[in-house]
Amino acid sequence: MSYSISIQMITAIFLAVMFSLFGIFTASAVELFYATSAVGRGLHDFHKTFEPWEKKTGNKVTLVPMPASSSDQFAQYRLWLSTGASEIDLYQTDVVWAGQLANYFVDLKKPAQHLIKEHFPQVIESQIVNGKLVALPVFGDAPALYYRKDLLKKYKRAVPKTWQEMTETAKIIQNGERAAGNPNMWGYIWQGNSYEGLTCNTLEWIYSFNGGRILDKNGRITVNNKQSNEALQMVSSWIGTISPQGVLAYMEEETRGIWELGNAVFMRNWSYVYPLSEEEGSAVKGKFDVAPMPSGGPGMPAAATLGGWNVAVSKFSTKQKEAIDLALYLASYEGQKNIVMNGGNLPTIPSLYDNSEIAIKIPMVPRWKNVFLSTVARPSVQTKNKYNEVSSKIWSSVHDALSGHKSIMENLDILETNLIDLKGSGW
């Protein structure tokens, strides 16, 4: 009897030691529910990123797929959060949602203080609302200037660094290629439809002319100025010359379609287009490269709208400790490297752009380092719950200006007045 008891005791002690050493606390393991926009293959690739964390902690992550439309996703988030739903522990959030959802999320500034300095500062700043770090970056995005390297070589033109250089080169190559037998060639294509994409383009144009960020960091409306007028006058001059009249109806996919047919010298678009343009069947496969967006002139800044997705921890979660730990992992060097290697997304940690493993597997990533250095955030943090309306006012006025509905200065006046009315006593 005593022999039996001693064996049981030894077994129990052994198991306890093993559990302690390897963290296999099955009874205390939790399941976290993570809302994400990833779908299909992307969902599978994204979940692979969690596997090292799951193995280390013994916890499980269940992904909750959201609608493909970011507007529908945002609406679902607000519905859950406004009712205090505790079922979702972590939310993957668009870079512009911080100001609108800040009150529903845990402040991550203290637990993430050791990570903050590792990221591009503008990415972190885009998620700080009233001193609260609302979310941590999972992966980033930014638009680049796609260019036909074969055509620049043919016409002995350098990669443009200013809008003036881009305009001149676009005209020369467009005219040359049309004379050589391609009547469908255009110099520059971009997103001119009346939607969020036009707000992004507008921010880049105005900022690159030293015209500010439409609103300053304190929420003061600054859009109605001489530099904004100059920038939009330049854009207006493209339409019907180096850009088709139909550009005012283009979004990302329309521009990609023209580009991949080989009918554009330059294109402004996001990183997702790069691998698609290298696929079989693309007329530009092996013939293009990317560069930072142009500046308004010598000594002026380049600007690329900051995009990307972040992770926030719900204040209604009953598993906040584990959820915060997962968020920290995703924002770490290890986590972001796994995200890049599994899904091809762009990291927000500068040192990962110099990682040799990443460069070999996904050659496009190093090309975006200089693009990211010029990123500029939309005025979503300042305008909080009013951002969607602010953006709508911006793209509507700019679209009217570029369509010839009143002058550019008149539309800037209208935009300023509309934003003042929208702001009221404060954002």
Interval 184-198 mean pLDDT: 97
Q: What is the pLDDT of residues 323-353, one digit of tens each?
A: 999 999 999 999 999 999 999 999 999 999 9
Do 355 and 398 lie in a common domain? no
Beta bridge partners of 132: 129
Interval 303-312 mean pLDDT: 98
| Phi, psi angle pair for 166, to nearest 5° | -60, -45
pLDDT at 41: 72
Do 299 and 243 lie in a common domain? yes
Do 156 and 286 lie in a common domain? yes
Does residue 11 carry a pLDDT above 70? Answer: no
Does residue 21 carry a pLDDT above 70? Answer: no
Do 185 and 265 lie in a common domain? yes
Per-residue pLDDT band at 376 (split at 50, 70, 90): very high
| Phi, psi angle pair for 209, to nearest 5° | -100, 15
pLDDT at 71: 87
Does residue 15 carry a pLDDT above 70? Answer: no
Do 106 and 155 lie in a common domain? no
Does residue 16 carry a pLDDT above 70? Answer: no
Interval 40-51 mean pLDDT: 85
Query: How does DSSP assign 236-292, residue by residue?
Result: HHHBTTTB-GGGGG--HHHHHHHHHTT-EEEEEE-TTHHHHHTSTT-TTTTSEEEEP
| Phi, psi angle pair for 238, to nearest 5° | -70, -35
pLDDT at 206: 98
Q: What pTM did the predictor assign?
A: 0.91
Do 155 and 192 lie in a common domain? yes
Write out the residue range of the structural domain in which residue 360 sits: 2-140+307-376
As a whole number, the mean pLDDT across the chain is 93
Tokens of 14: 């052994």
Does residue 12 carry a pLDDT above 80? Answer: no
Interval 364-377 mean pLDDT: 96
In contact, 301 and 204? CB cutoff 8 Å: no
pLDDT at 6: 44
Strand ranges for 66-101 from DSSP E: 90-94
pLDDT at 70: 87
Per-residue pLDDT band at 358 (split at 50, 70, 90): very high
Interval 147-165 mean pLDDT: 98
Tokens of 244: 């088709």
Nearest to 269 by CA among 96, 400, 141: 141
Do 264 and 394 lie in a common domain? yes
pLDDT at 405: 96
The domain spanning residue 332 has which CATH number? Answer: 3.40.190.10
Do 148 and 200 lie in a common domain? yes
Does residue 9 carry a pLDDT above 80? Answer: no
In sequence order, which ranges of 270-368 are alpha helices (DSSP H)?
273-277, 320-330, 333-343, 356-361, 364-367
Do 72 and 49 lie in a common domain? yes
pLDDT at 25: 43
- How many domains is the chain partitioned into structurally? 2
Do 300 and 175 lie in a common domain? yes
**Contacts for 416-424: CB closer than 8 Å, 24+ residues apart:** 416/221, 416/223, 416/224, 418/393, 419/215, 419/221, 419/223, 419/390, 419/393, 420/221, 422/386, 422/389, 422/390, 422/393, 423/219, 423/221, 423/383, 423/386
Per-residue pLDDT band at 33 (split at 50, 70, 90): very high
Q: What is the pLDDT of residues 76-101, one digit of tens each?
A: 999 999 999 999 999 999 999 999 99
